[in-house]
Copies of this chain bind each other. A is one copy, B any other.
Amino acid sequence: MATQETTSAPATEQPPSGGGFSRRTLFQGAGAGLAVGAAGGVLARGATVPEQHAAPSLGAARIEFQGPHQAGIVQPPQARVQLAAFDLAPNAGRAGLQALLKLWSQTAARLAVGEPAGTHENQIALDAGPSSLTVTVGFGATLFDKVGLADRRPAQLNPLPAFPLDAIDRSRSDGDLWVQIGADDALVAFHALRVLQQQAAPAAAVRWQMAGFARSPGATAKPMTGRNLMGQVDGTNNPKPTDPDFAAKIFATGPDWMAGGSYVVLRRIRMLLDDWENLSTDRQERFIGRRKSDGAPLSGGTETTPVDLTKQNPDGTLAIPADAHIRVAAPTANGGAAMLRRGFSYADGVLPDGSPDAGLLFLAFQADPARGFVPVQQKLARGDGLSRFLRHEASGLYAVPRGVQGGEGYLGQALLEG
């Protein structure tokens, strides 16, 4: 059986699965943009496509739902994302949550292979393939009290501290349940959201919803790290599934039901693009610490050259300035803190003052936020020159239970029945 561990490992091939029909799995590392098959076709990343002469297509690409970890963590961002939080109805209780998670798990599995889900009445994306759809579900801290499981709420879900410069709108933050839907087709992603929403009623209702995007597969001539709306290469130093300590950094080992799970931090980060674009390229690059053109660190080399934080310019100044983003965020400056970033851009029109309502839907997965997002953000909010061009406007922290596999029937089963 293909697992997400193996389907996400770069540059490795595995034999056809023992499933209903033979498939070939195409591999690609996190952060890369596309995989090009032998026939020159453009294929979605980290995805399985039918073997045997079938024209490779974006629509046919699929990502396995089952596995030790949920789908939508180690795979690079799809072209489109829908994020939503749901709040449980007061009378839903543990039984209501259980029924909902069963339904969502079935739906996620069906949609991942292109089978219809939901009622016929709300079919939207008929005739499209799964388009690398993933559905990822998380539990907010508030969920546990509501279903009588307060004593099993992990300490990792303790509220994030307030950070300097935060401007958090709580109505677009938090939530009992969190869903991340990624797909390379916008209609497929929207349809999945509508089905999950319909299935949630009346046990749970949408608290907030956000849409984002990343590069379309094939937009660049070769696989590239993505760029954010500041135009900067973003994600170069992301942990890779091939790193020896990847699993230890990203996946939790316990409690029982979270073994193989992860904790995701969401931040809706508006970028003050009007101010940013008024800076010279040189100034932009020194705020980041990397060249805009190719993402190479200002200490020299290419995008993937290790950053040399001690490197000096001929005039004795630091090549990577003291307040550069990559210096302040460096794992070495944060006790080895690491997280797997899986961000999407958003662009939701203009605000009343005429500035763009646009920026980054920052998502980061980690084994423990106290050794990932929290220490890094505490430093960034104080010392990062980039911070003055950013506004954190929404925030969330969710426990993403392990994937469905083996004898388990649905996401969160070990919590609800354990």
Contact = CB atoms under 8 A, between A and B. Distances in A.
A50 to B, nearest CB: 10
Interface in A280-335: 280-281, 284, 292-293
B184 A219 contact: yes
Interface stretch (A104-112, A255-263, A348-356): A348-356
B59 A220 contact: yes
A151 interface: no
Given A131-B216, A218-B57, A349 B41 contact: no
A63 B29 CA distance: 31
A59 B345 contact: no
Interface stretch (A121-129, A136-144, A407-415): A121-129
Contact of A187 (B59, B217, B345): B345
A76 to B, nearest CB: 14
Interface in A71-120: 79-80, 82, 119-120
A116 B394 CA distance: 34
B205 A354 contact: yes
Contact of A211 (B82, B215, B349): B349
Contacts of A224: 127
Contacts of A358: 190
Interface string A218-231: 11110010010111
A230 B119 CA distance: 13
Interface in A180-230: 184-188, 190-191, 194, 198, 205-206, 208-211, 213-221, 224, 227, 229-230
Contacts of A279: 121
A349 B210 contact: yes
A58 B350 contact: no
A128 B220 contact: yes
B41 A231 contact: no
A61 to B, nearest CB: 9
A58 B217 contact: yes
Given A131-B219, A216-B216, A350-B206, A231 B126 contact: yes
Contacts of A349: 208-211, 348
Output the residue of A187, A205, A356 with the most chain B CB within 10 A. Answer: A187
A347 interface: yes
B280 A190 contact: no
Interface string A41-77: 1100000000000011111100000000000000000
A162 B190 CA distance: 32
Contact of A231 (B122, B206, B214, B217): B122
A215 B187 contact: yes
Interface string A267-282: 0000001000111110
Nearest to A218: B58
A236 to B, nearest CB: 13
A40 interface: yes
B347 A230 contact: no
Contacts of A273: 194
Nearest to A60: B221
Nearest to A273: B194
Contact of A55 (B36, B281, B292): B36
B277 A227 contact: no
A354 to B, nearest CB: 6
A55 B59 CA distance: 19
A312 to B, nearest CB: 26
27 contacts: A42-B56, A57-B221, A58-B219, A59-B216, A59-B218, A59-B220, A79-B216, A119-B277, A121-B284, A122-B231, A123-B292, A126-B231, A126-B292, A126-B293, A127-B227, A128-B215, A128-B219, A129-B219, A185-B215, A186-B347, A187-B213, A187-B219, A188-B219, A190-B345, A205-B354, A206-B350, A208-B349
6 cross-chain pairs, A with B, having the tightest CB-CB distances, nearest first? A58-B218, A186-B213, A40-B55, A185-B219, A124-B231, A59-B219
